[in-house]
Amino acid sequence: MAIRETLRNAIIDRRLAPGTKLSESEVGSLFDVSRTVARAALQMLAFEGLVKTERNRGAFVSNPSPEEARQIFASRRLIEPGIVAAAVERITPEDIAKFRRQLDEEQRYLNERGPAARRAEIKASGDFHLMLASVAGNVILQRFMDELVARSSLVIALYGRSGVSSCGHSEHTAVLDALEKGDGERAAKLMIHHIDHIEADLDLQLKQGSGLKDALSLA
Amino acid sequence: MAIRETLRNAIIDRRLAPGTKLSESEVGSLFDVSRTVARAALQMLAFEGLVKTERNRGAFVSNPSPEEARQIFASRRLIEPGIVAAAVERITPEDIAKFRRQLDEEQRYLNERGPAARRAEIKASGDFHLMLASVAGNVILQRFMDELVARSSLVIALYGRSGVSSCGHSEHTAVLDALEKGDGERAAKLMIHHIDHIEADLDLQLKQGSGLKDALSLA
DNA sequence: AACACCAAGATTGCATACGATTTGCCCAAT
DNA sequence: ATTGGGCAAATCGTATGCAATCTTGGTGTT
């Protein structure tokens, strides 16, 4: 199952570009394992929308359409305020401290240069939302968020215009501050604005007609 | 993939009781197919939480704990009002007509006797929520609802006390009426109450200690 | 009589083999 | 020159075989 996690991480921090073909044999030999288990991993990833499989053609890193992107963010706008509301009831001082450390790390990557720092920054800013889902204590919503955050990362890779700083660091700290004060109302509002800002930074013109453009972008 | 759907339906309308063992060989020979494809189907079902697989032991129909049940309904309370809000913007008169027919069918099964009618009633009342998700037009939320409704059916099978009438037919019509009038606010409220009623009908005392009770229920 | 241990049976986990489908290329015909 | 057909290579879909692990029944000892 480690192979699935490895591929997942590679996809969400953009080492694998959308459209990249992931053949079973290739994945299998790369991880030194048979096609059977490689196939299982790809099926999992397909199930959570990170790769798309075409019959008798293979698996490809997902190339979400603008419409899909909109639906992903619509889902997040719906779910994350609920996560925040649940989190404010359960968050402990230890959690707060852990969040602070996480935000410090975000900050650190923000100041560094280079693609490795960019990848780490993306990962870290996504992890903030995931940690929030974790303290909310609902494993089902947590899994939904896992999927949504991962797919968001794909979408940002495709349609983001200002690079990586889209997931504003300061907005994360604002949410956490409200959470620490126990103001769930305000935290939820801030979270919605945060998601709005991420989506606003995207360029979601429908430059994909039906499916022939997929071929273009995967080159 | 038809095999997955068949198993799914068998589980959600309770022909397969929670705890039932689903061995790969058995499923394979039953569908006249090899263990490979049977295994794939079981993996899918495991991924959406309908079956639980134990290493070197096999797959079993899920036996959700009361805590899981609570989380399922908490998730629905969070998501379904959003679904309703989106649906009220997009619902067409044709949709309304289709819903009316669906509700008539619910009613019909409600008046019939026998286990087959009970199963059909459960299926139909779940389908109401799924149709709503469908007109909302967000395929991601639709998939989440697919999973939540299926798992709810399992939970009701395990913890429901008043049998099947839990998913009140009249409440469905009330939601639809509000939707038809374009009153999304009211429809969302009604939906939350509806979910509350379903959950209130459950007996969620934690009567499962660790795992020995699993053996009892699968008997 | 109760407990512990061991062996046989069964079932999953994984790898490999074979058949089917698609793709890309080459060549011929218009 | 372009288009159409056909052949070969590659890749997926599925079946089956073998090894590893767990369960279960029996047996011997305390």
Summarised one tens digit per residue, pLDDT across range A29-71 is 999 999 999 999 999 999 999 999 999 999 999 999 999 999 9
B131, B179 contact by CB (below 8 A): no
**pLDDT number for residue A164:** 53
**pLDDT number for residue B103:** 94
Residue A161 CA to its chain's centroid (Å): 17
A10, A19 contact by CB (below 8 A): no
End-to-end CA distance of chain B: 30
CA–C1' nearest nucleotide, residue A35: C15
B202, B69 contact by CB (below 8 A): yes
pLDDT for A149-201, tens place per residue? 999 999 998 898 865 554 578 899 999 999 999 999 999 999 999 999 999 98
A11, A5 contact by CB (below 8 A): no
In this complex, do A71 and B43 lie within 8 Å of one another by their Cβ atoms? no
The topology under which CATH files domain A2-62 is Arc Repressor Mutant, subunit A (1.10.10)
Residue A216 pLDDT level (bands cut at 50, 70, 90):
very low
**pLDDT number for residue B20:** 95
Counting residues of chain A whose pLDDT is more than 70, the rounded percentage is: 91
A103, A169 contact by CB (below 8 A): yes
DSSP per-residue string spanning A20-68: -EE-HHHHHHHTT--HHHHHHHHHHHHHTTSEEEETTTEEEE----HHH
In this complex, do B79 and A74 lie within 8 Å of one another by their Cβ atoms? no
Name, in order, each residue with C-beta under 8 angstroms of A134's C-beta and a sequence gap of 6 or more.
Answer: A142
The SS3 assignment for A179 reads: helix
**pLDDT number for residue B209:** 47
pLDDT for B142-196, tens place per residue? 999 999 999 999 998 889 886 555 457 889 999 999 999 999 999 999 999 999 9
CA–C1' nearest nucleotide, residue B59: C12
Mutual orientation of helices B184-200 and B66-90 as an angle, nearest 10°? Answer: 160
Q: Give me chain B's average pLDDT, please.
A: 90
**pLDDT number for residue B215:** 46
B167, B122 contact by CB (below 8 A): yes
pLDDT for A107-148, tens place per residue? 998 888 888 888 888 889 899 999 999 999 999 999 999 999
pLDDT at B216 > cutoff 80? no
The SS3 assignment for B113 reads: coil
Residues of chain B in contact with residue A36, where contact means CB-CB under 8 angstroms, are: 36
In this complex, do A138 and B74 lie within 8 Å of one another by their Cβ atoms? yes
DSSP one-letter code for B160: B
| Domain ranges within chain A, ordered by starting residue | 2-62, 66-200
pLDDT at A22 > cutoff 60? yes
Calpha distance B49→B153 (Å, rounded): 12
DSSP per-residue string spanning A3-15: HHHHHHHHHHTTS
Q: Hey, how many other C-beta atoms are within 10 angstroms of the C-beta on B21?
A: 13
pLDDT at B129 > cutoff 50? yes
Using a 7 Å cut-off to protein CB atoms, list the covered nucleotides of chain D: 11-17, 20-23
Closest CA to the C1' of C15: that residue is: A34
Give mean pLDDT, residues B57-79. 96
The dotted CATH code for A66-200 is 1.20.120.530
Chain A residue with the nearest C-alpha to that of B82 = A78
Cα-flanking dihedrals φ and ψ of residue B153, to 5°? -60, -40
Q: Please, which residues 79-138 of chain B have a Cβ atom closer than 8 Å to chain A?
A: 79, 82, 86, 138
CA distance B70 to chain A (A): 9
